[in-house]
Amino acid sequence: MPSLKDIRKRIGTVKNTQKITRAMKLVSAAKLKRAQDAMLMLRPYAEKHREMLVSLAAQVVDGASAHPLLARREEVKRIGVLAITSDRGMCGAFNAQLQKAVARYIEEQDAEVIVNPLGRRMALYARKNALPTGEKFGEVIPAAADDRVREITERLVDLFIEGEVDEVVIFSNRFISALTQTPTMMPLLPVVPEQGDDEAAGADIGGSSDLFYEPDQTSLLQYVVPRYVEVQVRQAILESIAAEHAARMNAMSSATDNAGEMIKTLTLQMNRARQAAITTELMEIIGGAEALK
Amino acid sequence: MATIKLEVVTPRGKVLDVEADSVTAPGALGELGVLPEHRPGLVMLGGGELRYERGGAEGEPVFIRGGVAEIRPDGVLVLADEARTPANADKDRAEAILEKAMAARDQATYLDDAELQRIANDRAYAEAVLKVAGH
């Protein structure tokens, strides 16, 4: 049985840990709010942009030749994966989930898969497991800046255009709610202009096929298509960051609860040990008094 | 009198959502006026001021930094890379953007159309902001 002093010391340690986890939880909650706002702000833009792309692509007779990013390759030999995780741990199964999903994807594909990690955790995992790695995009938090998103997108687009890869997909955690994050795979390149679930009717501008273009269709495609890709990448990054903070908040919340449980158990143990010590002392005194009679 | 619904949406959220009598947008090829029942189409935007009139009065302009506009008979949807109202437009930032754009233009040995367009947009945007900021 541990001594009273030992138990007291342990309670102190657990209390300190609890303080840290509680602080981390609060920090994550504040960051989550901001990340979630950024994510929600982008949503209407992304939605409208997709609608525009769909209606524009619908007008083009032959999408594949109209823009190289719309061209589907007949044979897919190599697939580039943009795998987004966090930079730090302490966020539950957030990173492990995604890493596992990527690993499974690599196994399932006949084509060669090249991983382009974004976020330190993914880069570490790729190195440890000797995954075929392409571009390393570094840390994920600064990646949400406009310029960085553009750089990353341009790099991915280059890989595709130059024929290094025949398809590009994104693996990232999707923010479903503050309690749920799911690793998701999303095809990025080639761009497939598909209608979303909710806007089957609204996609056709003004319900007319007689549209005018300024300057012309090709220039517009040249703007809209890469921009669409960029928006997709940005959305994946923002969702992943929001999901990360949510995951960390939950992990730290349960860690705080667990620490509380532990303190309770230890306090009980401590009281028991203290009572035992008192009882022993009393016995000794009584025993001594009896002996004097 | 018929009105048109004018919406300006950016990656950082919706900037404007009003009913307007007429809209003047900074197209990449020059200004573009839109009245109700305009022929539908898609227009590439440059940089500069987006103005609109409502009830005979000029509304507060919005500074646009490149993007694309969808024109429908009953509305104009602007998807801008960046858009700011005069209250939110930062003069110092506009100066920085202008400087960067000019530097990019002067230093580059080769620029493709998209880069040229971006530089032109940045420049027009920054100049429009600076003009209003009383420069």
The string of pLDDT tens digits covering residues A267-280 is: 999 999 999 999 99
Token pair listed for A92: 């539950």
Report the range of poorest mean pLDDT among A140-154, A167-181, A187-201, A243-257: A187-201
Conformation bin of residue A29: beta by default, left when phi > 0, alpha when psi is -120 to 50: alpha
Does the beta-carbon distance from A52 to B14 stay under 8 Å? no
With pLDDT > 90 as the criterion, what percentage of chain B qualifies? 33
Give yes or no: residues B51 and B14 share one domain.
yes
- What single-letter amino acid sits at A140? V
Q: Are residues B46 and B11 in the same domain?
A: yes
Show the CA angle centred on residue B52, arms to residues B48 and B56, nearest 5°.
145
A214–B29: do the CB atoms touch at under 8 Å?
Answer: yes
**Strand pairing report for B22-27 and B62-72:** unpaired
User: Is there a single domain that holds both residue B19 and residue B75?
Assistant: yes
Residues B77 and B40 in one domain: yes
- How close, in Å, is residue A212 to chain B by CA atoms? 4
What total number of domains does chain B contain?
A: 2
Alpha helices in chain A (DSSP H): 4-59, 63-66, 94-108, 120-128, 146-161, 217-292
Which ranges of A110-216 does DSSP label H, i.e. alpha helix? 120-128, 146-161
Q: Does A107 contact B at CB distance below 8 Å?
A: no
- CB-CB neighbours of A51 under 10 Å: 21
B119 and B79 within one domain: no
Full DSSP string of A238-267 = HHHHHHHHHHHHHHHHHHHHHHHHHHHHHH
Which band of pLDDT confidence, cut at 50, 70 and 90, is reported for residue A199? very low
CATH number of the structural domain spanning residue B21: 2.60.15.10
**Residue A111 CB neighbour total at 10 angstroms:** 14
Nearest to B44 by CA among B17, B71, B5, B22: B71
A12 near A263, Cβ under 8 Å? no
Distance CA A138, CA A85 (A): 11
Q: Is the ipTM reported for this complex over the cut 0.95?
A: no
Q: How many residues comprise chain B?
A: 135
Q: Which two tokens stand for residue A131?
A: 């995954």
Please check whether residue B88 is in contact with residue B74, taking contact to mean a CB–CB distance below 8 angstroms. Answer: no
Distance CA(A67)–CA(A54), nearest Å, equals: 14
Cα–Cα distances in Å, from A191 out to A40, A45, A49, A86, A166? 23, 17, 13, 26, 12
Res. A206: pLDDT tops 50: no
Closest to B11 (Cβ–Cβ): which among A45, A56, A226? Answer: A45
Question: pLDDT-based confidence at A195, cuts 50/70/90?
Answer: low
* A76 flagged as catalytic: no
Residue recorded with tokens 């940089």: B47
CA torsion A42→B33→B36→B129, rounded to 10°? Answer: 40
Q: Which of B11, B68, B113 sits opposite A42 (nearest CB)?
A: B11
- Give how far A69 is from chain B: nearest CA, Å: 15
Q: Are residues B25 and B47 in the same domain?
A: yes
Q: How many angstroms separate the Cα of A198 from the Cα of each of A174, A191, A209, A265? A: 20, 19, 21, 53
- List the one residue out of B70, B5, B41 whose CA is nearest residue A209: B41
Among chain A residues, the shortest Cα distance to B66 is held by: A223
Helix or strand holding residue A118 (H, E):
strand A112-118
Q: β-strand B57-58 against B30-34: which pairing, if any?
A: unpaired
Give me B79's structure tokens.
Answer: 């998807």
pLDDT tens column, A49-105: 888 888 888 777 665 667 888 888 888 899 999 999 999 889 989 999 999 999 999
Mean pLDDT of A127-133: 89
Whether A251 contacts A91, CB under 8 Å:
yes
> Do B26 and B63 have their domain in common?
yes
In this prediction, residue A45 carries a pLDDT of 92
Q: Report chain A's C-alpha Rg in angstroms.
A: 28
* DSSP-based three-state secondary structure for A66: helix
Confidence at residue B130, expressed as pLDDT on a 0 to 100 scale: 86
Nearest residue on chain B to A212, alpha-carbon basis: B41
CA distance B54 to B74: 15
Residues B24 and B61 in one domain: yes
Task: Please provide residue B51's backbone torsions phi and psi, each rounded to the nearest 5 degrees.
Answer: -115, 155
Average pLDDT over residues B115-129: 87
Of B14, B39, B68, Cβ closest to residue A223: B68
Residue B90 CA to residue B98 CA, distance in Å, equals: 12
Task: Tell me, yes or no, whether B53 and B76 share the same domain.
Answer: yes
Among A56, A57, A82, A91, the one annotated catalytic: A91
What does the pLDDT look like over A144-159, one tens digit per residue? 787 888 889 999 999 9
Residues in chain B whose Cβ is within 8 Å of chain A: 9-14, 27-29, 32, 39-44, 68, 70-74, 77, 79, 81, 113-114
- Domain span at residue B26 reads 4-84
If you average pLDDT over residues B51-57, what whole number do you get? 89
Same domain, B69 and B52: yes
With tokens 């890709």, the residue in question is A229
Cα A156 to its chain centre, rounded Å, is 19
Mutate to test the interface with A, among B8, B16, B34, B44 (most CBs of A within 10 A): B44
Predicted local distance difference test score (pLDDT) of residue A120: 92
Phi/psi of residue B22, nearest 5 degrees: -150, 155
Residue range A212-223: average pLDDT?
84
Q: Is A290 on the interface with B (CB under 8 A)?
A: no
Q: What percent of chain B has pLDDT over 70?
A: 97
Report the greatest alpha carbon distance in chain B.
Answer: 52
One domain, residues B38 and B20: yes
Tens-place pLDDT, residues A15-53: 999 999 999 999 999 999 999 999 999 989 998 888 888
> Do B96 and B52 fall into the same domain?
no
